[in-house]
Each structure stands twice: as structure tokens, then as C-alpha cells.
Amino acid sequence: MTVKTKGRADCHQATLDTATYTTNSTGLAAWIKVTIINLALKGMVSKSVARWLIKVGGLRHA
């Protein structure tokens, strides 16, 4: 196998940012988790359902 000795040229850098905005999925996940917790505290959703939603939705670390 040959070893590549050259890197990218100046005009061939990584792909430019094509999106006009960036998404913040962590902020959205945290907002969803807080909403689930608030619904559970107000009694609109049972605590076991809230725990299940957070666990299944991958929101434990949000």
C-alpha cells in the first residue's frame, strides 16, 4: 500500500458550510426532556411514562 505524501491543496479544502443555519439538537433534546418532566410534575403524564419516554428517546444525557 502506498503512503499518501501530499495533503489537500489550498483550493481543495473541506466542503463549505452549505446550510444557512445550524441545528442544535442538544438544546432541542434538553427542551423536550424538561417538557416531559414538567408534564409529569403537573400530573398530566405518569412518572413511569415520563421515565420511559426519557429512556427510549435517548434523553438521559440531555
* 45 within some domain: yes
61 within domain boundaries: no
CA angle 41, 42, 47 (to 5 degrees): 45
Residue 2 covered by a domain: no
For residue range 9-62, list pLDDT tens digits in order.
Answer: 555 556 655 556 556 667 888 899 999 999 999 999 999 999 999 899 888 776
pTM: 0.57
Q: Rounded CA gap, 53 and 45, in Å? A: 10
Domain hosting residue 48, numbered range: 25-56
Residue 10 lies in a domain: no
How many independent structural domains does the chain possess? 1
Residue 5 lies in a domain: no
